[in-house]
Structure 1
């Protein structure tokens, strides 16, 4: 179990890492999963982790589960690892793919 100080720190780190609103993330997950002929149901779009991040954004801190905390730690670690020593974003295919991967976790690297 996580104590109150650890929970506060994780909550702050998660809110820093996830810089998209729940509405923006939900829209991105739908766009990212839309195919040429089909589009998934709104509640089923995106990766499992992206959907979990969306669910966490819609919760109060007191309602978080141990599974939520595990996903929050994973998202913070991934975003920190991917953005460490980050140069200014450029309009290359690799940067676009990297940005899109991060956006499935709720982090838009083009945002301050």
Structure 2
């Protein structure tokens, strides 16, 4: 097996805090990008960081780049700073929830 640039702890932490499936995240980003008169191309929906999270979800560990690993670390840190280590489902404000969902974390989903 090839070496992976990501350690076991980060891999597990990322896939715990990113509790949306790639399909859910892709649909969310497309919904957020849809305007009243135009729609964004599916592969261009969301900001660069959101698209990177989506791409990471589609990759095998061995295919991750050092840049992917940095995004994984930052997403884990940001979600944990907002939610703690074992968050209970919480709606919060729409803006707060939408920002977290753009990172792949739905605060209304129960922890695994």
TM-score (norm 1): 0.87
Deviations 1:12-34 (A, max 9, x none): 00000100000000000000111
Q: Please report how far the alpha carbon of residue 88 of structure 1 lies from its aligned counterpart in structure 2 after TM superposition.
A: 5.9
Q: Distance in 2 between matches of 1:101 and 1:76?
A: 14
- Aligned pair count reads 106
Structure 1 residues without counterparts, runs of 5 or longer:
none
Aligned pair 1:16/2:21, yes or no?
Answer: no
Q: Please report how far the alpha carbon of residue 87 of structure 1 lies from its aligned counterpart in structure 2 after TM superposition.
A: 7.1
- Higher normalized helix content (fraction of residues): 1
Once superposed, which parts of structure 1, at least 4 consecutive aligned residues long, lie more than 4 Å away? 85-88
Aligned to 2:64: 64
What do you get for the CA RMSD once the two structures are aligned? 1.9
Aligned to 2:93: 95
Q: Please report how far the alpha carbon of residue 89 of structure 1 lies from its aligned counterpart in structure 2 after TM superposition.
A: 2.5
Deviations 1:20-63 (A, max 9, x none): 00000000000011111111000000011100000000000111
Structure 2 residues without counterparts, runs of 5 or longer:
none
TM-score (norm 2): 0.87
